[in-house]
Structure 1
Amino acid sequence: MDQPTRDRVSREILQQGPVTARDLAETLGLTPAAVRRHLDGLEAQGLVEVHSSSTASDGSPRGRGRPARRYVLSDSGHATMSAEYDHLAAHVLEYLARTAGPEAVAGFARERAERLAARYRPAVEAAGPGPGSRAQALAGVLSEDGYAAAVRSNPRGATQLCQGHCPVQHVAARFPQLCEAETQAFSTLLGVHVQRLATLAHGEHVCTTHVPAPLEAPVSREKRADDHRVAS
């Protein structure tokens, strides 16, 4: 199988799936027979699978007869594509570090984290001022982006923000600046200083971020005197 063409077919299925062989042929400029040959190979490797549907690709109900086979990437196919993107991202950052220096990598990491924070800020701020409620909102929008996030609270009011998946896990293992910038972005969003306790990039089974409980406002000397007079 022609590897570059196979990769083109896989990427198109990733972006457009469920998609038919005819649709792939039109998009990629290949013959339907050539696309089906690549699909057969990908299916034999367990990288794509047939998605059954009662609707056509435009959303309209199908008529009678045998429905067209529509393809999606399998779990193995997704894992393969993720690995390819990981390698590409790592090579890009290696080139950036070599040609522009480590600070350029750190700058890229900060810009990426700032963009994430800007996208999540409306949902987090709508949750109110409390770090716990803001962490819950942050977990929700992170999960929408595929981070499989959740929060755990302890009796003292502190919260742990847990992420079961990280799209840049393997790249972050080589470039910890990505994790550091993300942690700083979480601190900014939640309004408290957070601390990373564990990361997937360092081999843990989940990324865990400690979110402290809000500090009680200090009681002034005058307020304590007033309370004492009332009690007397």
Structure 2
Amino acid sequence: MQPNADLSTRDTILHLLKTNDELTAKELTDRLDITSIAVRRHIDALERDGLIEPRTIRQPMGRPTAAYHLTERADELFPKKYNTVALDLLGELAKESGENKVERLFELRKETLYKKYAGMMEDKDFPDKVSALADIQNENGYMVELQQNSENEYVLIEHNCPISQLAHQYNHACRCELRLFESLLDADISCPECLTKGGKKCVYRIRRRDPQS
């Protein structure tokens, strides 16, 4: 589900909630070119369909308000490029040859992806490398948001994980992805929030390496 002019209002609301964690009816109205009554109709329908849920927010003054977020059912509407067969096969491999063989497969995948994308980083300065990585991840369905803190520091946010089920079962997939990013960008990267560890998104803090280090 991508943000574009062809989306219905219903899908646009789902996309906004996916990329903002939660929003009130007023915040949705402010972002959509429709009336508050129309927004309320869509919210009611999405609640009935089990796609969104409200959270009551107490105000210092006045009546409480509701902020809406997606349910697990709604999350299935977004890109997921995993296959249960892959999980089954990895499980069989782990039983037959041990977990280290599964980890080796993820290492091989990292090496393959590095060979695939390293050429795209050649002759680019650091900001362009980070931008190219964001484009790569967007093309692969990660719904990336890129923020710049300074000339040498960026935050890359992945609102969706197409391999979330694999990563939940095999955390080595996440470690390999982080090391892939470090190699492609020649950067120091940390991951303070991760979907597989209970986060609402995957957050990568990217800092250009000091050439002296």
TM-score normalised per structure 2: 0.57
In the TM superposition, residue 144 of structure 1 has moved relative to its aligned partner by 1.3
Distance 1:147 1:185 in 2: 15
SS of equivalent residue, structure 2 residue 112: helix
Partner residue of 1:139?
134
Partner residue of 1:111?
108
After TM superposition, the structure 1 = structure 2 runs for residues 41-52 of structure 1, keeping only pairs within 5 Å, are none
Structure 1 position 178 matched with structure 2 position 173: yes
The counterpart of 2:163, out of the listed 168, 172, 192, is 168
Does structure 2 conserve the Cα–Cα contact (< 8 Å) formed by 1:123 and 1:141? no
Q: Which has the higher strand share?
A: 2
In the TM superposition, residue 138 of structure 1 has moved relative to its aligned partner by 0.5
Distance 2:160 2:138 in 1: 9
Superimposed CA distance per residue, residues 86-113 of structure 1 (whole angstroms, 9 cap, x where no aligned partner): 4322221111111111110111111112
Does structure 2 conserve the Cα–Cα contact (< 8 Å) formed by 1:136 and 1:150? no
Partner residue of 1:21?
none
Does structure 2 conserve the Cα–Cα contact (< 8 Å) formed by 1:172 and 1:201? yes
Partner residue of 1:121?
118
Does structure 2 conserve the Cα–Cα contact (< 8 Å) formed by 1:140 and 1:150? no
Structure 1 regions of 5+ residues with no counterpart?
A: 1-75, 219-232
Distance 1:82 1:158 in 2: 29
The counterpart of 1:88, out of the listed 85, 89, 95, is 85
Identity of counterpart residues, as a percentage? 22
Distance 2:130 2:144 in 1: 10
Does structure 1 conserve the Cα–Cα contact (< 8 Å) formed by 2:79 and 2:141? no
Partner residue of 1:222?
none
SS of equivalent residue, structure 1 residue 107: helix
Structure 2 regions of 5+ residues with no counterpart?
A: 1-73
The counterpart of 1:158, out of the listed 142, 147, 153, is 153
Q: Which has the higher helix share?
A: 1
TM-score normalised per structure 1: 0.53
Structure 1 position 190 matched with structure 2 position 197: no
After TM superposition, the structure 1 = structure 2 runs for residues 66-81 of structure 1, keeping only pairs within 5 Å, are 79=77
SS of equivalent residue, structure 1 residue 159: strand
Q: How many residues align?
A: 141
Distance 2:80 2:128 in 1: 32
The counterpart of 2:206, out of the listed 194, 199, 211, is 211
Kindly name which structure, 1 or 2, has the bigger radius of gyration based on alpha carbons. 1
